[in-house]
Structure 1
Amino acid sequence: MTSARTPLAEPSRYIATPDAVKIAVYEDGPADAPVIVLVHGYPDNHTVWDGLVKELAGDFRVVRYDVRGAGHSQHPQRLRDYRLDRLASDLHQVAATVSPDKPVHVVGHDWGSIQAWEAVTDVGADRRIASFTTTSGPSLDHTGKWMRHTAFRPSPRNLSDAIGQALHSWYIGYFHTPVVAKLSWRLMAPRLSAIIGQVPSETLTADAMTGLKLYRANMIPRFARPRSRFTAVPVHQIVPTDDKFVRPQLAQAAEPWTPLLWRTTLKAPHWAPHTHAGELAEHVREFVGSLEADETPSAPAVIQPLRRRPRLDRKLAFITGAGSGIGQATALAMAREGARVIAADINVADAEHTVRMLRHHGGDAWAYPVDVTDPEATTALADAVMDLHGVPDLVVNNAGVAHAGGFFDTPLERWHQVMDVNFWGIVHGSRAFGSAMAERGSGHIVNVASAAAYSPVRILSAYSTSKSAALMASECLRVELASSKVGVTAICPGFVATNISHAATFSGEGSSQEEKRQHTSRLFAIKGYGPEKIAGAIIRSALRNRAVVPVTFDGKLARFGSRYTPGIVRLVGRLDPSG
C-alpha cells in the first residue's frame, strides 16, 4: 500500500556534532529573541513541531532539528551511535551553535524528551540550558530508579502504577525483535497518519526503521543499571492525560532528582505537539516567559513533602562553592531538610542562581560573593553573616580547584593557586567561623577534601598535596574543638561528576587543555556518581559527627589501601591515568 507523503523542506543549515554526524537544523523567528530548541521524538522528524512553530515564532527564535537517524540528518549505522550520551551531545552542540552567548530553552517530546533529559542532567547543564519543558518522555534513569523503588518498597498504589506502565510499554520489547520489527514498520508506517492524524513525511519509513536503534542502544542498559541523574535546570512537565504509551503516573519518577519542577496536565493524546499545538505552545510561552522575566512560573510547583521532621529544621548552613557541583547539591539537600542556607561563591551570579532555586520552593537562602583565598575578605563576610543571620550551625568549606600535572611539570604559580583554594580556603573558612561556634558550644564544620589526600598519584602532585593538607588540618581542628562540642568532618570523595573536572587545568606535554579536560570529564562521568550523593554524605556525617568519611567506591578502596596496603597504593599511583 502506498500513500501521499509530505516532502521535507531544506534545512536552514547543517551542524556537525563532535563525532562528525551532520544534523539538519531549521530556524524561525527573530534573530535577537530568546531561543527555544524543539527536540522531536520517534518516529517523527522536525515537522511534528510545525504547529508549535506557527504559535511561537512571533515571540521567540524557534530552532528545530532532525535528530540523528531522522529526516535530513545523517543516519549512522552503528548501534552505539544512538546511545543517550551521543544524543545529548547533539543537543548541546546545536544549542552552543545557535546561541553561543546565552542558554537556550529546550522543549522535548517522546524520545526527544528522553534525550533532552540526558542533556539537562549532564554536569553544568544549567549553564547551557535555561529551562526544559518535557512531554511524553521521562528520563530512562529516573524511570529505572522509580521501578526499582517500586519493586523493593511495594505498595498497592506503586504496584498498580508500575504494572500499568509496563502494560502500556509492550512495544519496547517488540522493537527489540530482530527482522520482525523492521518488517512491521514497512507495513505500519503508511498507516501512521490514521493514528496521529498527520500525513506521514517522505522519510517516515526509513526514520522508523533506523530509530529502532534508540530502543536497542539504551533501554536495557539504562533499566539494568539506572544512574543517579540530578538536574539544576528548571523543568516543566506537561502531562497528556490520554497518553496511551507514557502514563501520567510516570511523571512522579522525576521528583527526587529535579528540585525545580513544575507540572501541568493537558487533556491530550500522546502526539500532543501535533493535535494540541496551540495549548502546548501557550504553556511553553508562559513558562519560558516567566523565567526570562526572572519570575516564578505560574504553573503549579511539584514539592516533595517530607514524611518526617526535617533533620536540619531551621539550622543555618554556610556553604562555599555553592554555585555549582557539590556545593550546589549540598545547598539543595540541606534546604530540603529544612535548613536556612548561605550560598557563597567566587562567582556571585552562580550563587544567586542556587538561591533562586531554593527560594522557588519556599526555602530561606541568601547569596554572597567570597574569595576563599583572601583571609580578610573571608573574615569580613563571616562577620557580616553572623551579624545579619547569626552564627552558622553548619559550615561547609567546599570550594576547590583541580589541576593535573607532575611535580616538576606543575608551575609554581599553579602550586600556589591549588594550595590557596584547596588548603588555605579551608583554613580561612574554619578560622572565620570556628571561634564563634566554639564560644557558643555547638556546631559542625565539614571540609571537602578528596580520596587524593591519601592516594599519591604521579599526575596529581599539587592537588593531592593540597587535599592531604586539608585532611590533616581537619583532623587537628577536630581534636582541638572536641571539648567545645563543635564537630569537624573531612569528606573524601573519589571520582564525582561535577564542574570541577570541566574547569580543571593541566600541565605537561601531550593533548590540548580542552582535550584533556574532555577526557577527564568523561572519566569522571562514567562513574555515574553525582554530587547529590556527596551532599547526602555531608549531611549524614555532620549529624553523626564522623571524623573522616571516604565517599564513592574508589574513595573507600583508596582509604582501605592507604591504611592496610600502602605499597600497592604507591604502585597504582605510578600509573598515568591521563589517557
Structure 2
Amino acid sequence: MASEPRHLPPTGPRRRTVGTDDVDLAVFSEGDPASPTILLVHGFPDTHRLWDGLAERLVGDYHVVRYDVRGAGESTAPRKTAAYRTELLAEDLFAVADAVSPNRPVHVVAHDWGSIQAWAAVTAPRAKTRIASFTSVSGPHLDHIGQWTRRRLTHPTPANLVQVATQLAHSWYIAAFHLPVLPALAWRTVIGPRWGGILRRVEGVDSTPAPTIGTDAANGVRLYRANMLTSAAKPAPGPTEVPVQVVLPTRDRFVTAALAEDLERWVPRLWRRRIVAGHWVPLSHPEALARMVEDFVEHVSGAPMTRSLQRARAGRAEGFTNRLVVVTGAGKGIGRATAHAFAARGAEVVVADVDIEAARRTAAEIGPAAYPYLVDVSDADAVRAFAEDITDQHGTPDVVVNNAGIGMAGPFLATTARDWQRITDVNLLGVVNGCREFGALMAEAGEGGHIVNISSAAAYTPSRSLSAYAASKAAVLALSDCVRAEFVDHGIGVTAVCPGVVATDITNTTTFTGADDLEQQRMRQKATKAYARRGFTPDRVAEEIVRAVDHGTPVVAVTPEAKLARFGSRFAPGLMRRVARLIG
C-alpha cells in the first residue's frame, strides 16, 4: 500500500544543479538516497511542483527525485527550437539519473510531455541498465502515435477511422501551437496569469501554478514545433525491455486510451491501468497514483503482482479473472448462487454471511478462490471493519453484491415498531452500510468498480400484505438510483436487481406479523411450497446479476412477473393499486 503522506522538512527538498551540454537542470531530491530512486518528470506547462502530492506519499519508502525540464521553472531555457527535440530531452533524463543514482537504475514516473520525452529515453539502448521501470501517464511515444495512425489509415475500418478522428479532436491545440508568435504571446499575457482558474473550472483541479508559468509555457510551445511534424512524417518506434505501466485516465481531454492499444508490438512487459480521472492525475489523484506506482515498483523489484496489476497485464484473460467480488448473504439462496456464478468466471469471491457455517459451506463448494467471512450487515461498525479487513487482506473489491436481506409479511396494523426496525436495519441500512464502506474504498482506489443492490419486484408492486418488506425494498431501489448518480463521478456503476418469486430459503425465515408460532410455521411451509412450484431458481438470478455487471445495467427486473409488474407500475399504476387490494 502507498505510504501515508509525510510532512517535508522545513528546508524542503534538497536542490542541486545538473548540467548538460546546453542546459542547467534544477534537480530536487528527498528521502534516503540509499532507497530505490523514483524519478518524476513533469509535462507541459508544469514544473517539478506538479509532483508535490505524489512525492509526499512516496518519500517515506523511496528516494524521490524531481527536476524542472529544460525551459521550465528554475532550469535554463535554450533559445533554439531544435534544442527541444525529444532525443535531447531524453539525454537530460539520463543525466539526472546518473547524477542522483549512479550505481542503480531508477524507476521513472512521467506525465504529459514528461512522459513523451521519457519514452524516448526508455526506448534508447541505455535504458536497459539505467531505467528499472517506467510509469507513463497521459503521454505516449510520438513514434508510436505515428505508427498507430498509419496502421488505422491503411486499414480504414469504421472503428479505426473513429479512433483517429476522436484523437484528432482531442489534439486540436497542436495545430494552434504551430502558429507563429501568437501561442507564446497568449501564454505570457492571457492564459498563464489565469492558468490556475482554468484548471479549476475545466479540470476541477486546485493548483497554484509556478510564477514562471507564462514564460515556461511560451518555451514549452517549442516542444510541439520541434517534434510533432517530424514524428508524424517519419515515425521510427523502437522496442524496449523496460517494464512499462501505462496509466490511462478515463476522462483525459487530450490523450485517448486508444493510443495505447498497439504497444505490445514494442513493449513485451506491459501493463495498462485505468484511473477515473482527468488529464492532471498527479494533482487530482495523488493517493491513487502513488498506490499504482508503488504496486509496480515493488513488483518489478521482486514482489508478487497485486490483483490490480494482474488485471492490467497486457494479454490477460477476459471475464472476471483476477477480480475480487464480495457477496453478502452468500450462505444460501441468491447470494450463494451469485458467489458461484462469479467464481465460475474466474473471480475470487468473499463469501459473507451472518451464519459463518453457511458461509464456510459455500466457500468450500467453490474452492480455494473463495473466502468465508462473518458479518452482520445491519451493524455499521462491523461492516466498516469487514470492508477494511477485506481491503487489507485481498485488496479493493471490484464488485460488491449487497444481497443480505430478510422477509416479512402480514397486515400493516399487525407490524410492530420492532418489526419495522429489524427489517429496516437489515434490508435498507445493510445496503446503505455496504454502499458507504465499499464505495468509499473504490473511490479512493480510483479504478472504478461496481455495486449491486438486491431490491425486489415488491419495490414497485404494492401489496396489502407486504408493507414493511415492500417499503424496505423500494427504499433500496431509490437509494441505488441516487447513489448511481453520485458514484458515476468515480467510475463506479450501481445496479438494482429486482427478482420476483424465486425459490430460495428466505420463505423459511420470513416473519409473518400478527401470527403465533404455530401459524408462523404453517405459513412458512405454504410459502415455501408455492415458491418451489414457481420453479425460478437462484442461479438464474445470479446469471442476470453477472450480466448486469458486465453491461453496466442500472435496473434489472429478473422474473417474468417482475418485468410485467415494472411495466404496470410505469404505464398502469392505477390498475396496480386496484390489484394490490386483492393480493393478500
Give the number of the structure whose alpha-carbon radius of gyration is greater: 2
Give TM-score, length-normalised by structure 2: 0.50
Give TM-score, length-normalised by structure 1: 0.50
